[in-house]
Structure 1
Amino acid sequence: MQENFPDKPGVIALPPVILGGAVALGLILNFIWPANFLPRELAIPLGILIALGAVGLAFLAVREMHAANTPLDVRKASKDIVSSGIFRFTRNPIYLGMVVLCVGIAFLINSLWILCLAVPLAFILQKGVIEREEAYLERKFGEKYLRYKASVRRWL
């Protein structure tokens, strides 16, 4: 473990801001060039189910992080590696939930633009947040994080 580094991951932006930016851009594009992709009576119930799944995923992750006394705020120092609960199946359930929520919103609003923006959202979260967090966690926790990283997938 190195001692001469900032005790935070140095992400490009707060992840909810990145999600909000993707949805806002999709809404603007949808306003200018409407692009529905499903009948409304199908899009809304599917959107509700997908969004509820995303919220449930995030809830499980938040509960585990609180139980481990580890901050959710990426601007704060991590206190431990959370590997219980939902973190046994994915290293990034909150970010996965954000991408799924973007898809759910796309269905709810019936916007092909927002649906398509879920892909760059995942890419930006991967490069600008997740990879920086992983490098930070490797520096801070060393072998403990590397073992966790080797045993649990990043997304699914």
Structure 2
Amino acid sequence: MSSSVSGRAGHARASHARIGSARIDEYCRVTDRLGERHGRLYFALQSVAGLAWWVAVFTVPAVRDATLGRIDPVVMAALDIPLFVVASALAAFGLRWAAWVATAWTALIAVGIVAYATITGLAGWGAVLMIAAAAGSIAAAMLVLLGRLPAEWIIRGPFAFRLARPGSTGDHVKRTGAQLVLFWGLFLVVFPFVIVLLERRWQLDVPVPIAVPIAGVVLLLAASALGIWSAVTMSTLGEGTPLPSATARRLVIAGPYRFVRNPMAVAGIVQGAAVGFVAGSWLVVVYAVAGSFVWNELVRPIEEAELESRFGVEYAAYRDRVACWVPRIRH
């Protein structure tokens, strides 16, 4: 997970080594921008989309083949229309039990269609669509049932905010290097490799011109350089690491943090997309974009609230002065 801690060596210190869960919950409630009405709107759109898809399944053979393969559409419709289409419509009207039904059914079908597509090589588009529907349904159900997205669930356990242990600059650099190896290995090698295998097994891969992987290599090198620069700056000036579990003890607004508040997040997202270009995989690019959305909407607000709680006016002034993603042009 990339840290949004930025720039010059600061002076503020946190009074606790770990941010309390009650304070994190408070941060999440303050920064939430989505509520129950958004969840109900999603279920309404999902109901309409599901109905339109079933009409297409029974009228357009290409749609049926691409999304269901050899699965009997009549049997599937008998179950899916009441449990997906109708339940989503009822959830849109605020019936909480319907949100449970629609979400559970969507997740179950997503697992089933992914297994079917992986075993048979058929219905690849069905697998992709149901994965997206399951993710959307889970998020919408949380909005309907809880009134918010429980972003604090992401930063529990090993990802809870804790100040880095006091140590030498060398210690912080070593810990940061180990984090980069672990997380880059998982998110830029292992996960994309699995996605590429599934994409090809589901027969969703498309040929790309040679310029695409070449551009990917250039982007990957540039983004990796930015990531390393950001990590070294964080560990040498911030007395910590990019991970919340060993977060920097000082506010850092030097190096790449002079230009954007989240250079490591920028680097990670560009790296993910670049890996997709190198592999010629559009699904890996989608994976990178989806990750950027999750980070921006769920993780970033909590990190920035935690930073403001520790560094106060100094961080607030920095946040107002420096852009989150794209450097501002100063005249």
Same fold (TM over 0.5): yes
Is 1:46 the equivalent of 2:180? no
Unaligned runs of 5+ in 2: 1-11, 25-151, 160-178, 327-331
Is 1:61 the equivalent of 2:230? yes
CA contact (8 A) 2:230 2:264 kept: yes
For normalisation by structure 2, the TM-score amounts to 0.42
Equivalent residue in structure 1 for 2:291, among 82, 105, 121: 121
Summarize the Cα distance change of 1:4–1:44 in structure 2 as closer, same or farther, 3 Å threshold: closer
**Aligned-partner SS, 1:58:** helix
CA contact (8 A) 2:235 2:248 kept: no
The residue aligned with 1:136 is 306
The residue aligned with 2:319 is 149
**Aligned-partner SS, 2:271:** helix
CA contact (8 A) 1:11 1:129 kept: no
Is 1:89 the equivalent of 2:259? yes
Unaligned runs of 5+ in 1: none
Q: What amino acid is the match of 2:243? A: D
**Cα deviation, residue 117, structure 1:** 2.2
Q: What amino acid is the match of 1:90? A: V
CA contact (8 A) 1:65 1:71 kept: yes
For normalisation by structure 1, the TM-score amounts to 0.83
Summarize the Cα distance change of 1:128–1:24 in structure 2 as closer, same or farther, 3 Å threshold: farther
CA contact (8 A) 2:272 2:284 kept: yes
Report Cα offsets for 1:2-32 as digits up to 9, x if no partner: 9689438767266948845863663254132
**Aligned-partner SS, 1:75:** helix
**Cα deviation, residue 37, structure 1:** 5.5
Report Cα offsets for 1:90-120 as digits up to 9, x if no partner: 1111111110001110111000111122221
Give me the identity figure in percent: 21
Distance 2:291 2:245 in 1: 20
Is 1:106 the equivalent of 2:285? no
Is 1:74 the equivalent of 2:244? yes
The structure with the greater share of residues assigned to helix is 2
* Count of residues in Structure 1 that have an aligned counterpart in Structure 2: 155
Distance 1:139 1:120 in 2: 28
Higher alpha-carbon Rg = 2
Is 1:12 the equivalent of 2:154? yes
Distance 1:133 1:24 in 2: 30
Report Cα offsets for 1:55-88 as digits up to 9, x if no partner: 0110110121122123222212431111011001
CA contact (8 A) 1:102 1:118 kept: yes
Summarize the Cα distance change of 1:12–1:80 in structure 2 as closer, same or farther, 3 Å threshold: same
CA contact (8 A) 1:11 1:74 kept: no
Aligned Cα RMSD in Å?
3.0
